[in-house]
């Protein structure tokens, strides 16, 4: 008999956080298989065999680089009714799969369910630190979805879905419903938007996932995230936006915010030409956003002085306040 859940975990290699993630998926002793998909680069070692000490675990080789290709390989091999996504540095709480099952039962038309999450900033070496025993003390990522479903409008205005919170209905996925392997980040956002064109997306406001924020992760690369989000929105525009989903003004404002984020990331990285190009796109869309003009002024400062103005938290503040 096929398992109820297929858990897909992309990874770049063996680590403490991969083992913790896998343990959190296997902990409920549920009816599942865990597919660890190794995005292995040339010269890197294979994953050790002891990761498969639990017979429910299989190791697969990703056909190409990036999390999109790895997840697609896992989906192709999955045999469970539901496909649950977990990143190798995140953790599930024991109730995650059972709560997802309950939510999908209440929404039989949904192709996926996502949920709220706890956010854990992990500064430990190797990012293998343990979150607090009581995760309720952690800050929450809450999509602030108005109801029990996530619509296209909400998705176009922001990405309220964190990938390790998602469980997909495998039998409702078409052959085209795969992650875009050409996107290094935001490949998940692109898929959610495409799925929302034809399906309902369910949401559970109860947090049952701990998402690890660690230095050097793709999630922390603001420039890559902003560039990829702009590309995803451009693709969605080319597919066509039905009337009434999002006004032209709202779309321009959303794009303007992303160009604004990109300008900040380029300034922080001392790429002034790219920052100026981003501001030239953001300002016409958001002419009343004062921070854009602060960024224009920052771009005119000498490099050493400009760098002193950039402080923690993604804000442009005087150095004396940093």
Digit-coded pLDDT (tens) for 172-226: 999 999 999 999 899 999 999 999 999 999 999 999 999 998 665 655 588 999 9
Judged by average pLDDT, the poorest of 32-36, 39-43, 96-100, 224-228 is: 39-43
Q: Which residue has the higher pLDDT, 112 or 129?
A: 112
Confidence (pLDDT) at 319? 35
pLDDT-derived band at 321 (thresholds 50, 70, 90) equals very low
Q: Which residue has the higher pLDDT, 313 or 121?
A: 121
Where do you find CATH 3.90.550.10 in the chain? 5-215
Confidence (pLDDT) at 219? 55
pLDDT-derived band at 45 (thresholds 50, 70, 90) equals confident
* 199 secondary structure, DSSP code: S
Q: What digits encode the pLDDT tens for the residues 252-275?
A: 999 999 999 999 999 888 899 999
Nearest to 11 by CA among 80, 64, 62: 62
Helical segments of 78-150, H only: 96-106
pLDDT (average), residues 125-137:
81
The arrangement of secondary structure in 5-215, i.e. its CATH architecture, is Alpha-Beta Complex (3.90)
pLDDT (average), residues 120-140:
84
Angstrom distance (rounded) from CA 191 to CA 166 = 12
Confidence (pLDDT) at 218? 54
> Which value, to the nearest 10 degrees, does the dihedral of the CA atoms of residues 230, 112, 68, 40 take?
150
Whether pLDDT at 30 is above 70: yes
Confidence (pLDDT) at 318? 38
Q: Name every residue whose Cβ is closer than 8 Å to that of residue 23 and which is 6 or more positions away in sequence.
A: none
Judged by average pLDDT, the poorest of 26-30, 45-49, 197-201 is: 26-30
Angstrom distance (rounded) from CA 159 to CA 179 = 15
Phi, psi of 115 (to 5 degrees): -140, 170
Confidence (pLDDT) at 43? 76
Angstrom distance (rounded) from CA 274 to CA 305 = 19
Confidence (pLDDT) at 316? 45
* Residue 119: burial class (beta carbons within 10 Å; 0-12, 13-18, 19+): middle
Contact criterion met (CB below 8 Å) for 118 and 138: yes
Phi, psi of 237 (to 5 degrees): -60, -45
Tokens standing for 161? 């879905």
Confidence (pLDDT) at 299? 84
Whether pLDDT at 127 is above 70: no
Whether pLDDT at 55 is above 80: yes
* 124 secondary structure, DSSP code: S
Confidence (pLDDT) at 186? 95
Question: What is the H or E stretch that residue 9 is in?
Answer: strand 5-11
Contact criterion met (CB below 8 Å) for 270 and 258: no
Confidence (pLDDT) at 320? 33
Give me the chain's average pLDDT, please.
Answer: 89
Confidence (pLDDT) at 322? 29
Helical segments of 29-151, H only: 67-77, 96-106
């Amino acid at each position: 008999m096929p398992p109820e859940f297929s858990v897909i975990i992309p990874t770049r290699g063996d680590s403490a956080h991969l083992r913790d993630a896998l343990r959190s998926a296997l902990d409920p002793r549920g009816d599942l298989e865990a597919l660890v998909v190794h995005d292995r680069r040339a010269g890197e070692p294979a994953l050790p065999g002891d990761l498969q000490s639990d017979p429910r675990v299989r190791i697969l080789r990703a056909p190409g680089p990036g999390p999109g290709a790895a997840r697609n390989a896992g989906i192709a091999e999955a045999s469970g009714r539901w496909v649950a996504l977990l990143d190798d540095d995140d953790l599930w709480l024991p109730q995650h799969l059972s709560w997802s099952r309950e939510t999908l039962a209440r929404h039989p038309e949904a192709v996926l369910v996502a949920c709220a999450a706890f956010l854990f900033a992990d500064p430990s070496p190797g990012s293998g630190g343990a979150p607090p025993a009581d995760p309720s003390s952690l800050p929450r990522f809450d999509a602030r979805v108005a109801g029990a479903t996530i619509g296209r409008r909400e998705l176009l205005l922001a990405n309220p879905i964190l990938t390790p919170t998602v469980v997909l209905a495998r039998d409702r996925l078409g052959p085209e419903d795969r992650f875009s392997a050409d996107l290094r980040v935001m490949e998940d956002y692109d898929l959610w938007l495409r799925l929302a064109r034809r399906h309902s997306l369910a949401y559970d406001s109860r947090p049952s996932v701990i998402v690890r924020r660690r230095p050097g992760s793709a999630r922390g690369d603001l420039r890559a995230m902003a560039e990829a989000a702009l590309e995803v929105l451009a693709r969605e525009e080319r597919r066509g936006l039905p009337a009434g989903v999002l006004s032209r003004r709202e779309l321009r404002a959303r794009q303007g915010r992303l160009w604004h984020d990109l300008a900040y990331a380029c300034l922080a990285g001392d790429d002034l030409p790219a920052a100026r190009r981003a501001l030239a796109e953001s300002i016409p869309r958001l002419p009343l956003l004062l921070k854009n003009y602060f960024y224009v002024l920052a771009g005119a400062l000498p490099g050493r002085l400009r760098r002193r103005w950039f402080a923690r938290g993604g804000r442009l503040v005087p150095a004396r306040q940093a």
